[in-house]
Amino acid sequence: MAANIRLEVVTPRKEVVNEEAKIIVAPGVLGEFGVLIGHTPFMTSLNVGIIRYTDAQGKEHFVFVSGGFAEALPDKVTVLAESAEKRSDIDLERAKAAMERAQKRIDDKSEGIDFVRAQAALNRSIYRIRLAESRS
């Protein structure tokens, strides 16, 4: 049996994931990347998106991350995320409300609206909604 790699996903407030995985796929700033045991070490920034990983028993898991950094070592991947949620922890109604608020800010043409910030909030809420609605 092949060895597994440790995945740790942490935010400033909590540890979201700490378990063995067969493979980890994450949203890097230059595109999605995958890591297996024995990977060459590297560090990268993360985009808003979904981390997918297959646990030691072969079950696939999904974690939303809103940016951050990832460090890959031969035996471990550490993700330091601004925020992160397992698919099972996403509150769909809260995510939909956040999307509506962000869309209203974008549609508001008055001065003083931070369009970039509103667009980022909309993007985060869309990823969270898609992930939450994809539950099987």
**What residues are paired with 20 via a beta bridge?**
6
Hey, do 5-87 and 90-133 end up sharing a CATH topology, with the first three levels equal? Answer: no
Say what the pLDDT of residue 116 is: 82
Whether 46 contacts 68, CB under 8 Å: yes
For range 41-64, the mean pLDDT: 96
Phi first, then psi: what are they for 4, rounded to 5°? -110, 165
Say what the pLDDT of residue 75 is: 96
Structure tokens, 24: 């980890």
Domain layout of the chain by residue ranges: 5-87, 90-133
The chain-wide mean pLDDT, for the chain, equals 91
The contacts of residue 111 (CB under 8 Å, 6+ apart) are: none
Closest by Cα among 85, 76, 2, 79 to 35: 76
Of 21-35, 84-98, 103-117, the range with the lowest mean pLDDT is 103-117
Say what the pLDDT of residue 112 is: 72
Whether 124 contacts 48, CB under 8 Å: yes
pLDDT band of residue 136 (cuts 50, 70, 90) is: very low
CATH H-level superfamily of 5-87? F0F1 ATP synthase delta/epsilon subunit, N-terminal (2.60.15.10)
Say what the pLDDT of residue 135 is: 66
Fold of 90-133: 1.20.5
For range 18-30, the mean pLDDT: 97
